[in-house]
Amino acid sequence: MRQYFILFIFGLLITFSSCRTDFDTVVSSGNLKFSRDTVYLDTVFKNIGSGTYQLKVYNTSKDDISIPTIQLKNGLNSKYRMTVDGMSGNNGKIFKDVTLLSKDSLYIFIETTADITDANPTDFLYTDQIQFDSGANLQEVNLITLIQDAVFLYPQQKPDGTKEKIIIEGKPVDGFYLNENDAVNGNELLFTNQKPYVIYGFAGVPENKTVTFQAGARVFFHANSGLYVDNKASLQINGAVSTTNKLENEVVFEGDRLESLYDNIPGQWNSVIFAKGSKNHSINHLTLKNAITGLNIKSPDNSSTIEIKNTQIYNCAEYGILAQNAYINGENIVINYAGFASLSCVYGGNYLFTHCTFNNNWQGSSQFAVNLSNSMAGATPPTNPLIQATFNNCIIYGSGTNEFNLNKNTNAAFVYQLNNCLLKFNSSSTNPDYQFKTDTEHYNQIILNENPKFYNVNQNKLNINTTSPAFAKGNQAYMIPLDIIGASRTSPPDLGAYQSAAFPK
């Protein structure tokens, strides 16, 4: 009898468990909550996939629910695509009977690939909506993307299936030479402000040709891509002063990831490389950011001096400017954040920098704002004379202990001088090269280890105001009349590339 009773109880347990409603769902009543009512996908180039964006959906009710449909309003024709809690649905466009437990949430990840023809012709916005359910229970989340038309420059594919290549320092790399008579793009040696340019691989400037960038030109480089100025070729960047924060007249070089997450990530593209023997370069109002090395100058033709003026270089994984035995006249240059050095002049050369701000707030312990050397490992001969390295009315600063480094080889000339500069060098050194107060041959009117009080280093705003120790400490003899953004300097001028009157709003 006892055995029958146990079996009876066991049977009841099975019966009740089979009737549990813990995992039963009710149809959604249209009371879902969302992490945002509009998902703005950052600007994308036509037919180039966007980044992935997230929407979180919440079930705040006490019931487990089933959402009959989650779909894009434009259905299978939409240029957006989604995954819903890891499910791909019908081509990432339509999802049926999606379960969402009580007090739980699910993730929707959204991407797009659209053409300029898909966008609204007046504002170039491509829009759609994610629809949850329909009828009286319909809820919607907006999707908005700005589509940019662009000129795409890239290596062609050869008949054998391999990509076109060019030779850089003896090595073949994916690349192509710009063509002034291209059948599709016309003159590829002239970059205008009509459309942005997107470069894949290295765009080469052929021998005896000049590439010109007009004011307002925008160039976006894909990963491992860059610009290569070949032997006897020239680079002319003709930017101009801008009147707004949009830098409408600057020439801008940056990576092709337009999502805000990538705004300040170093190393997204390679470099602008000046080959040995290249010549007649002029750079004015260039903003360059997020490269491995910004300007990589490899012993150009020393019969001509490279003019670099009113130029900003930020967030480079290795160097802002790396110059090898170059001749450079630099005015109103600002460099910040570089893994090795903001400015590195190696293997000799001839350099004059006036009203420049070389700062390096890279998070490390061995980086410099300025590095000077008259030698280079593996070079033949191993040393080259540093004919001159003069810094007038400059700021050389950063987050490291010492932001100024001299790597002198006594087998070649090493001539340098700093006049009216603010300099960070905190170590107590007996080295005769670093006697900033007593060595008048190399150092005159040095402000040592005083914080210049930049406006916002993390945002690359290296402006100063009247409370800065660099205020009105410049020498009138070296003054450049206008600062990097076109503000008039007063006498005595401030140190660095910015006049204090131009403090940002």
Per-residue pLDDT tens for 131-160?
A: 999 999 999 999 999 999 999 999 988 888
468 assigned to some structural domain: yes
> CA 41: distance to chain centroid?
18
The predicted model gives 392-410 an average pLDDT of 96
Instruction: Compute the chain's Rg from CA coordinates.
Output: 30
The predicted model gives 233-261 an average pLDDT of 94
Number of domains in the chain: 2
State whether 141 and 165 are in the same domain.
no
State whether 158 and 290 are in the same domain.
yes
State whether 124 and 212 are in the same domain.
no
73 assigned to some structural domain: yes
Q: How many CB atoms lie within 10 A of CB 471?
A: 18
3 assigned to some structural domain: no
- Residue 175 CA to residue 157 CA, distance in Å, equals 11
318 assigned to some structural domain: yes
State whether 116 and 196 are in the same domain.
no
Contacts of 96 (CB under 8 A, 6+ apart): 68, 69, 89
In this structure, are residues 216 and 193 in contact, taking their beta carbons and an 8 Å threshold?
yes
H or E segment and range at residue 125: strand 125-132
Structural domain including 426 reads 151-502
Structure-model confidence comparison of residues 34 and 7, the more confident one? 34
State whether 234 and 374 are in the same domain.
yes
Q: Is the pLDDT of residue 8 over 60?
A: no
Q: What 3-state DSSP class applies to 145?
A: strand
State whether 301 and 327 are in the same domain.
yes
Beta pairing, strands 368-373 & 404-407: parallel
State whether 318 and 341 are in the same domain.
yes
Q: What 3-state DSSP class applies to 13?
A: helix
Q: Is the pLDDT of residue 6 over 70?
A: no
State whether 141 and 158 are in the same domain.
no
The predicted model gives 103-110 an average pLDDT of 96
Domain boundary pick from 148, 165, 187: 148
- Residue 49 CA to residue 42 CA, distance in Å, equals 11
Using pLDDT thresholds of 50, 70 and 90, give the confidence band for residue 364.
confident
State whether 144 and 158 are in the same domain.
no
7 assigned to some structural domain: no
Q: What pLDDT is attached to residue 162? A: 86
**pLDDT over 70 percentage in the chain:** 94
233 assigned to some structural domain: yes
1 assigned to some structural domain: no
State whether 98 and 192 are in the same domain.
no
Contacts of 428 (CB under 8 A, 6+ apart): none
Using pLDDT thresholds of 50, 70 and 90, give the confidence band for residue 299.
confident
State whether 122 and 164 are in the same domain.
no
Find the angle CA(390)-CA(396)-CA(400) to the nearest 5 degrees.
135
Q: What 3-state DSSP class applies to 179?
A: coil
Q: What pLDDT is attached to residue 259? A: 87
In this predicted model, what pLDDT tens digit does every residue of 159-178 receive, in sequence order? 888 889 999 999 999 999 99
Across the chain, mean pLDDT equals 92
Domain boundary pick from 104, 126, 148: 148
405 assigned to some structural domain: yes
Domain boundary pick from 102, 119, 148: 148
3-state secondary structure 364-427: CCCCEEEEEECECCCCCCCECCEEEEEEECCEEEECCCECEEEECCCCCCECCEEEEEEECECC
Q: The CATH number of the domain where 45 resides is what?
A: 2.60.40.1510
- Conformational region of residue 61, where left means phi above 0, alpha means psi within -120 to 50, and beta covers everything else: beta
State whether 103 and 133 are in the same domain.
yes
Q: Which residues of 313-324 are buried (b: 16+ CB within 10 A; e: fewer)?
A: bbbbbbbbbbbb
